[in-house]
Amino acid sequence: MAVLTPTPHNAAREGGIAKTVLMPGDPLRAKYIADHYLTNVTCFNEVRNMLGFTGTYQGKLVSVMGGGMGMPSIGIYSYELYHFYGVDNIIRIGSAGGFSDGVKVRDIVVGLSASTNSNYAAQYKLPGTIAPTADFSLVERAVAAARQKNIPVKIGNILSSDTFYSADHTANDAWKAMGVLCVEMEAAALYLNAAYAGKKALCLLTISDHLYTGEALSSEERQNSFSDMMEVALAVAAGIEEGDKKEGI
């Protein structure tokens, strides 16, 4: 249910956020998307400089908002979007470090599932181990959009890690040996929040550096050059909006 007053982290008012939100980690990447891809843009949030914008893409209403770094940060923002602002779909668009020999810098990865070393799921008091997964309908839309644009994607298991600078120097080898494609820091919390809320989530990643080959993009390139990933995510968002209109939702 939408609220009339802002949360402590989001100044948006009722109706100010679209049903589908693209969520990069970097708020400046959110601004880049709004500036370069959306029209009729309004800024709905500047609290803590976590910028959020709503506009139209191919005539469809889309929002984009930063989610910050790490699972606690995206956990707060995505929870509020799902539970307080009536958002149905969140598409994380971020960067990742490559593990697999089958991925290289600038490749796009669709996070089908998100393994994690985080204790985020402990709050649900489940009698076992849950596997955080993407919504398959969003996965299908993303793969179809990428193929239509002739953009190759890799699909599979990713790692959402709580540690960027890890004291365990054997951990990467262990995850790589299990076929994990790459590492990032947010998707597992997003997928768990979506499951708990009965909503949908997807994580699209661009490989910004490879932990085994040493290839890497600069911070400026990470902020401004992930155009293929952005366009796939926007196509998914526009497709959701169009599908909802056809179904009378």
Q: Which residues are catalytic?
A: 209
Are the CB atoms for 210 and 105 separated by under 8 Å? yes
Angle, helices 27-37 vs 227-247, to 10°: value is 70
Hey, which residues does 214 pair with through a beta bridge?
A: none
Residue 116: CB partners within 8 Å, gap ≥ 6?
71, 132, 159, 160, 161, 162, 188
Tell how strand 89-98 and strand 182-184 pair up. antiparallel
Which helix H or strand E contains 242, and what residues bound it?
Answer: helix 227-247
Give CA–CA dist 62/54, Å, rounded.
6
Hey, which residues does 109 pair with through a beta bridge?
A: 154, 205
Assign 3-class secondary structure to 16-65.
Answer: CCCCEEEECCCHHHHHHHHHHHCEEEEEEECHHHCCEEEEEECCEEEEEE
Are the CB atoms for 27 and 64 separated by under 8 Å? no
